[in-house]
Amino acid sequence: MERALNKSRLILWSSVALLFVLLPFVFPGGFALSILSQLGIAIIFALSYNMLLGQTGLLSFGHAVYFGLGAFVTAHAINFVEAGVFGLPMSFMPLVGGLAGLVFSLLLGFVTTRRPGTPFAMISLGIAEMVAASALMFTTFFGGEGGIVTNRTAGGVVWGISYGPQIQVYYLIAVWCFISMALMFVITRTPLGRIANAVRDNPERTQFVGYNPTRVRWIMMSLAGFFAGIGGALTTINYEIITAESLGLMASGNVVLMAFIGGIGQFWGPIIGAVLVTFLQSFLSNFTQAWLLYFGLLFLLIILFSPGGISSLITIHAPVWRAGVMKRLLPSYMFALWAGLVTLTGIIGVIELLYRGTLVVGVNVAVTWVFSGLLVLVGAFFLRRAIRAVTQVWEDLTPELARWS
């Protein structure tokens, strides 16, 4: 077994830590800081989801249940601290959320992990529906429409940290994000992580070797629930309010998108997905109402053409890079990029015209329609050729790369 810690990894992880420290200085300002905090939470959540999908092969449509339950339990814990029932520094509050996530995923996972594959996906969806529906009924615990409001400064000032200013909360999230990332990475290198991969790829054979696949799934699911709970707890601290939406189906669907767009084949894939999805949701929605549609289309495109997500697009270029033949790919890539941009502009034009129809002022609506339509046609025509060109270059390169590897 390769060692989890070697020199290059050490350098990589320390630069990640440094990046976390420096980011607020690069992007100051209230909104940027909020986005960064949200990114940290999204990364934990997406990575914990990938423990299920990427590593154990369990496609879950209800992962937000553990995220949300962790968040609610944390909210109550913070309120108990404020009421003086017990004492716990705010810095360790994410552990409460993590434990809550662990307990709930142990309980529900016992039922759901009995069957892998498609039945698991459906069962997770059913459980998510059930929890989301009861979240609205049980107002004592879930706080009804207003949710549970907390005060993150309840823990008082410990070591000069009050968690009043957003910057302190950002660093709390950064620290926990880093710890969770590291732990989840280590898990992939442990025997447990390896057996989870085996269960994903061939459960029968794993069983013959002497491991119980159901139990392995159950353990992995509980661990995923633990990290999701940490993410939930950080959400509670960050927003100081938690509502039933955060354990709903939308939230569960969102994390599927994050993990898959980023790529489930690599450990760092979901990180890319979390960053991209969070950014797109925050910025795209400022510009267009159709952002959900663009999102769905992006997702479909990725499944159709690069099911390994963005991370696999990057990894397939690693041998090309090593062989030093990147520049032979570039012309066809530039061509594809150009054609893609033309098509994209046309498609955006059509979609926006459909959405805004009545909002667009001026008489030249027909002109914009024709223009967008033309762009789509021309772009699609060239895009087909570009894709053919790219495939051609790749085919030419394959024997050379084979020599290099």
Partner 1 sequence: MRLVSLLCVGLLSLQVSCGQTNKEVVIGFVEGLSGPFANIGEVALRHLHLEVDAVNRRGNLPDGIRMKVIPFDNKTNPQEALLVFRSALDAGVDYVFQGNSSSVAIALTGAIAKHNRRNPEHPVLFMNYAALDPALTNEHCEKSHFRFDADVNMKMAALTEYIAVRKDIDSVYLINQDYSYGHAVSAAARSMLEVKRPNLRIVGDDLHPIGRVKDFSPYIAKIKASGAQAIVTGNWGSDLTLLIKSARQMGVDVDFFTFNVGMTGGVTTIGESGVERVHQVTNWHANINEATQENAKLYRVKYPDVFEDAYYGSIRRAVRMLEKAMIESGTHNPEVVGRALRDMEFADDAGLVSMRADNHQLLLPLFVSKLVKIAGKNDLVDIENTGLGFETLAEIPAEKTRMTTTCQFD
Partner 2 sequence: MEFFLITLLNSLSYGLLLFMLSSGLTLIFSMMGVLNFAHASFYMLGAYFAYQTGMVFGFWPALFLAPILVGVIGAITERYGLRKVHKFGHVAELLFTFGLAYVIEEVVHLIWGRAPVDYRIPESLNFTLFTLFNTQYPAYRAFMMLVSVGMLVSLYLVLTKTRIGLIVQASLTHPEMVQALGHNVPRVFMLVFAGGCALAGLAGVLGGNLFITEPGMAFSVGSIVFVVVVVGGMGSLVGAFIASLLIGSIQTFSVGFDLSFIDLMAGLGVIIDSNSSWYAGLSITISQTAPVLPYLLMVLMLIVRPRGLMGTRET
Residue 300's binding partner among partner 2, partner 1, none (Cβ under 5 to 8 angstroms by kind) is: partner 2
Q: How is 230-278 classified by DSSP, letter by letter?
A: HHHHHHHHHHSEE-GGGGSHHHHHHHHHHHHHH-SSSTTHHHHHHHHHH
Find the shortest distance in angstroms from Cβ 9 to partner 2.
Answer: 29
- In this complex, which beta carbon is closest to partner 2, that of residue 8 or of residue 358? 358
Residue 130's binding partner among partner 1, partner 2, none (Cβ under 5 to 8 angstroms by kind) is: partner 2
The pair of structure tokens assigned to 307 is 């099911």
Find the shortest distance in angstroms from Cβ 130 to partner 2.
Answer: 4
Question: Over the Cα atoms of the chain, what is R_g?
Answer: 24
- In this complex, which beta carbon is closest to partner 2, that of residue 169 or of residue 259? 259
Separation between Cα atoms, residue 123 and residue 232, nearest integer Å:
22
Separation between Cα atoms, residue 186 and residue 304, nearest integer Å:
32
- In this complex, which beta carbon is closest to partner 2, that of residue 2 or of residue 145? 145
Find the shortest distance in angstroms from Cβ 165 to partner 2.
Answer: 35
Residue 136's binding partner among partner 1, partner 2, none (Cβ under 5 to 8 angstroms by kind) is: partner 1
Find the shortest distance in angstroms from Cβ 279 to partner 1.
Answer: 12
Find the shortest distance in angstroms from Cβ 303 to partner 2.
Answer: 5
- The interaxial angle of helices 64-83 and 117-137, nearest 10 deg, is 30
Locus of tokens 């008082």: 156
Locus of tokens 């990290």: 227
Find the shortest distance in angstroms from Cβ 260 to partner 2.
Answer: 6
DSSP-derived letter for residue 290 is T
Residue 236's binding partner among partner 2, partner 1, none (Cβ under 5 to 8 angstroms by kind) is: none
Residues that bind partner 2 in the complex, under the rule CB under 8 A: 53, 57, 59, 61, 111-112, 114-119, 121-123, 125-127, 129-130, 133-134, 137-141, 253, 256, 260, 290, 292-293, 295-297, 299-300, 303-304, 307, 351, 354-355
Residue 240's binding partner among partner 1, partner 2, none (Cβ under 5 to 8 angstroms by kind) is: partner 1
- In this complex, which beta carbon is closest to partner 2, that of residue 138 or of residue 381? 138
Query: Are residues 230 and 94 in contact, defined by beta-carbon separation less than 8 angstroms?
Result: yes
Residue 23's binding partner among partner 1, partner 2, none (Cβ under 5 to 8 angstroms by kind) is: none
Residue 32's binding partner among partner 2, partner 1, none (Cβ under 5 to 8 angstroms by kind) is: partner 1
Residues that bind partner 1 in the complex, under the rule CB under 8 A: 28-32, 34-35, 38, 133, 136-137, 139, 144-147, 149, 164, 235, 239-241, 243-246, 250, 281-283, 285-287, 289-292, 358-359, 361
- In this complex, which beta carbon is closest to partner 2, that of residue 21 or of residue 293? 293
Find the shortest distance in angstroms from Cβ 253 to partner 2.
Answer: 8
Q: How is 346-403 classified by DSSP, letter by letter?
A: HHHHHHHHHHHTTS--SSTHHHHHHHHHHHHHHHHHHHHHHHHHHHHHHHHHHHHHHH
Separation between Cα atoms, residue 356 and residue 201, nearest integer Å:
47
Find the shortest distance in angstroms from Cβ 286 to partner 1.
Answer: 5
- In this complex, which beta carbon is closest to partner 2, that of residue 18 or of residue 137? 137
Q: Among candidates 227, 313, 320, 317, which has minimal Cα distance to 272? A: 313
DSSP-derived letter for residue 153 is G
Residue 246's binding partner among partner 2, partner 1, none (Cβ under 5 to 8 angstroms by kind) is: partner 1
Query: Are residues 189 and 51 in contact, defined by beta-carbon separation less than 8 angstroms?
Result: no
Find the shortest distance in angstroms from Cβ 323 to partner 2.
Answer: 26
Separation between Cα atoms, residue 276 and residue 278, nearest integer Å:
6
The pair of structure tokens assigned to 77 is 């814990």
- In this complex, which beta carbon is closest to partner 2, that of residue 25 or of residue 305? 305
Residue 121's binding partner among partner 2, partner 1, none (Cβ under 5 to 8 angstroms by kind) is: partner 2
Query: Are residues 107 and 172 in contact, defined by beta-carbon separation less than 8 angstroms?
Result: no
Strand pairing of 241-242 and 148-149? antiparallel
